[in-house]
Amino acid sequence: MKLVYLKNLFTLVWQYGKALFLLSTIIKIILGISPLATLFIVQEVINQVTELIQGESVEYMSVLFLLLLQFAVSVLISILNHVDSILAIHLEVRLDYKISKKVSTKSITVPFSYFELSQFYDHQNRIKNGNIGTRLMIPIKATLDVLKYIISISSYVIFLATIHWGLVVISLIAFIPILIIKAKFGSAKFYLMRNQTPAAREANYITSLLNTRQASKEIRLFRLGEFLLQKWSFLFKKNNSQTLRLARREYYAFILIDLFSALLYVAASLLLISQISRGFLAVGQFVSTGQAIQGAQSTINMIASTLARIYENQLYVEDLFKYLNYYEPTLHKNNEQEKTMSFPSKVQKGINVGNLSFYYPHSSKKALHNISFSVKPGEKIAIVGENGSGKSTLVKCLMGLYNNYEGTITIDDIDIQKIKTNELYDQMTGIFQDYMKYQFTVQENIGFGNISKLDQLQQIINTSEKSGADSFVRNLPKQYSSRLGRLFQGGYELSGGQWQKIALARALYKNAQIIFLDEPTASLDPLVEIELFRQFLSTTKDVTTFYISHRMASAKVAEKILVLKNGEIVESGSHTELMNLQGEYHRMYQAQANWYLEKDSS
């Protein structure tokens, strides 16, 4: 058991809920002593009542006082238990909030390339499986419970020792096998869950496919329902049968433990009977000793289960802290402290890319190979090439999303890896192929492009006009306050092209010096695309623009065109230069032009 993670957890608890934790500890100590107090009171009550029945002179008031005391103690125990539960809930909610926030902060601060690692996804999934606060409270509550049980067992042992030392030995012998078996199964369960995560994640993915609107069209059209359901059943059953097998083995072991405990109980009873036959025990002592033996055995059982629970959950705690400290050295070329340079307030020389090569994590194939080019401030660059030629990868490297590349990317001779991340992103904007469709209002969807100006409605409207979104937003019932998407009540679904115009507006809303457009107009018809491009280029004259488009007619308007093939730049120049070259660009352009001509004449 690695106690260091448990210690880290307690440090956090101390940090976030010192008073709650202290109060809870005091309550556990009082509850730990309470069984001994109850035993003594019960013993006295029975002794005095027995004497009363036998006609011996006993003070009625003293019996009444003992009964009242017994009542008061049981009420106090009940109140303390409830207060303890309330304190635990407070602590749980606080921990859930603080640690969930830490986990989400981790997600938004790790390098983008972490999301290419499936083990990072699996780890994230394991951590977020269930309520974090509840899972963290289990070892905390359990540790405090162990403290309570140790106090209780000590008091039972002292009590039993006053009767006969053999009773102490019998009670303690029960402890060892119970502890071993429960710890063994606790760890087995955790490792099983860990091994099951990839299959569970895939099963969850299939469930989400079966339940989403987006997938439901293809599922019906291609009649995928039955196949996906079978795939899900296979994964589900595989995990379930492993879980059930372990549960069966665990319960067989528990049956053995119960048999062993029963045997020990018989031995203790024989010892008690021999004590009575030799006249060493009064009725009250006999009853309370019986209670003490049972109490000791059940407390031992509880200690063993609770320690096993701590063990099982400390593995979760370990997993959580490992996630919070997850660090993939190869994906961190420069940490934030080393990023000391500012982004030029106005780019003078431009961008220079030198011998850029890039591998995706855990991939042996180069996605980019020896890319070199330079771009003047305000220049409009089109990147063209066949599917998989490396266009999006190049754009992501230029955006600073990946930093584990070979070669250099500089802006006014400053290595982008040395520029403070916030400043870099303040000066860059863009729209991705898989842009987001935020299920929020239009104003938020566009305003997210410049979060500090989220409430500047007039500026949002101006930008929306530039992207061609304003005309249909005006027709929505609540215009810019209309919620988009169907996920929440009252949302309006847009067409693919309309969503794309909203995403384009979001990209334009930031006054950045560089803009990246990765197929920003794929959902628009060609004429609208060209018109939008012209409008866009005229309003963003000073902005250095990189755009990827599969429509060669759009690339034509660029000042410089980069032609990518298998991760390399095979040609670069203006449209006229490249057409004269009669190479790859010419081939692609002609192919598209012919296609349109053929379509026209048919």
Residues that bind ligand ATP (CB under 6 A): 116, 360, 363, 367, 385, 387-393
Q: Specify the residue, 354 or 388, whose C-beta has the smaller distance to ligand ATP.
A: 388
Q: Specify the residue, 120 or 321, whose C-beta has the smaller distance to ligand ATP.
A: 120
CB of 417 to ligand ATP, least distance (A): 20
DSSP codes, 265-281: HHHHHHHHHHHHHTT--
CB of 526 to ligand ATP, least distance (A): 17
Q: Specify the residue, 116 or 423, whose C-beta has the smaller distance to ligand ATP.
A: 116
CB of 343 to ligand ATP, least distance (A): 25
Output helix, strand, coil percentages for the chain, rounded to the nearest 5: 70, 10, 20
CB of 422 to ligand ATP, least distance (A): 25
CB of 559 to ligand ATP, least distance (A): 21
CB of 358 to ligand ATP, least distance (A): 9
Among residues 164, 138, 421, the alpha carbon closest in space to that of 281 is found at 164
The β-bridge relationship of strands 568-573 and 560-565 is: antiparallel
Return d(Cα 115, Cα 590) in angstroms, integer: 38
Among residues 537, 538, 584, the alpha carbon closest in space to that of 561 is found at 584
Decide: 363 and 351 in contact? Cβ < 8 Å. no
CB of 568 to ligand ATP, least distance (A): 11
CB of 223 to ligand ATP, least distance (A): 27
Which two structure tokens, joined as six digits, stand for 548? 């990827």
Would you tell me how many other CB atoms lie within 10 Å of the CB of residue 363? 10
Which two structure tokens, joined as six digits, stand for 7? 């210690």
Q: Specify the residue, 116 or 412, whose C-beta has the smaller distance to ligand ATP.
A: 116
Q: Specify the residue, 107 or 230, whose C-beta has the smaller distance to ligand ATP.
A: 107
- Coil, strand or helix at 387: coil
Which two structure tokens, joined as six digits, stand for 34? 């309470």
Give the containing element (helix H, strand E) for 351. Answer: strand 351-359
Q: Specify the residue, 16 or 359, whose C-beta has the smaller distance to ligand ATP.
A: 359
DSSP codes, 125-160: HHHTSS-HHHHHHHHHHHHHHHHHHHHHHHHHHHHH
- For 495-580, list the strands marked E by DSSP: 514-518, 544-548, 560-565, 568-573
Q: Specify the residue, 200 or 562, whose C-beta has the smaller distance to ligand ATP.
A: 562
Q: Specify the residue, 367 or 375, whose C-beta has the smaller distance to ligand ATP.
A: 367
Sheet holding 380-385, edge to edge: 428-431, 514-518, 544-548, 380-385, 560-565, 568-573
CB of 582 to ligand ATP, least distance (A): 23
Question: 223 in the Ramachandran plot: left (φ > 0), alpha (ψ -120 to 50) or beta?
Answer: left
Q: Specify the residue, 115 or 236, whose C-beta has the smaller distance to ligand ATP.
A: 115
Place of tokens 């070259």: 581
Q: Specify the residue, 217 or 365, whose C-beta has the smaller distance to ligand ATP.
A: 365
CB of 548 to ligand ATP, least distance (A): 7
Decide: 504 and 445 in contact? Cβ < 8 Å. no
The β-bridge relationship of strands 414-415 and 544-548 is: unpaired
Among residues 568, 574, 211, the alpha carbon closest in space to that of 382 is found at 574
- Coil, strand or helix at 110: coil
User: Which amino acid is present at 387?
Assistant: N
CB of 567 to ligand ATP, least distance (A): 7
Q: Specify the residue, 114 or 311, whose C-beta has the smaller distance to ligand ATP.
A: 114
Return d(Cα 168, Cα 164) in angstroms, integer: 7
Q: Specify the residue, 236 or 360, whose C-beta has the smaller distance to ligand ATP.
A: 360
Q: Specify the residue, 130 or 388, whose C-beta has the smaller distance to ligand ATP.
A: 388
What residues pair up with 3 in beta bridges, in sequence order?
none
CB of 112 to ligand ATP, least distance (A): 10
Residue count of the chain: 602
Return d(Cα 290, Cα 277) in angstroms, integer: 15
Cα→Cα distances 405→10, 341, 432, 518, Å: 40, 19, 20, 20
CB of 384 to ligand ATP, least distance (A): 9
